[in-house]
Amino acid sequence: MASFLTTSATNDILEELIENALDRLVTSGHLEFREGKHYLTQKGKDAGGEFRMSPKFGPFFLWPDGVTV
């Protein structure tokens, strides 16, 4: 019998993965967290990271393929 995840459970998992990734990027110095928001550091910029704003989804970061933290 196949197992299924609800949309809510899937969203919870994705949110946790994103938070873990953001935490790792802060720990590695690629991002900093202040005033409740994440900001790209010079180290993040040097690694090829970019900040973008989507009218539909809001702020996000782009990272080149192969970035290690």
* Confidence (pLDDT) at 41: 98
Per-residue pLDDT of the chain (69 residues; tens, 9 = 90+): 778 989 999 999 999 999 999 999 999 999 999 999 999 999 999 999 999 999 998 999 999 998 888
Q: What is the pLDDT of residue 5?
A: 86
> What was the pLDDT predicted at 1?
73
Q: Give CA–CA dist 61/36, Å, rounded.
A: 16
Could you give the C-alpha distances from 10 to 6, 7, 21, 61, in angstroms and in order? 6, 5, 17, 21
Six-digit token string for 8: 């809510």
Where are the alpha helices (H) located in 5-55, listed in sequence order?
Answer: 7-27, 42-46
Residues 6+ apart with CB under 8 A from 61: 25, 31, 38, 40, 44, 49, 50, 51, 52
The confidence score (pLDDT) of residue 3 equals: 84
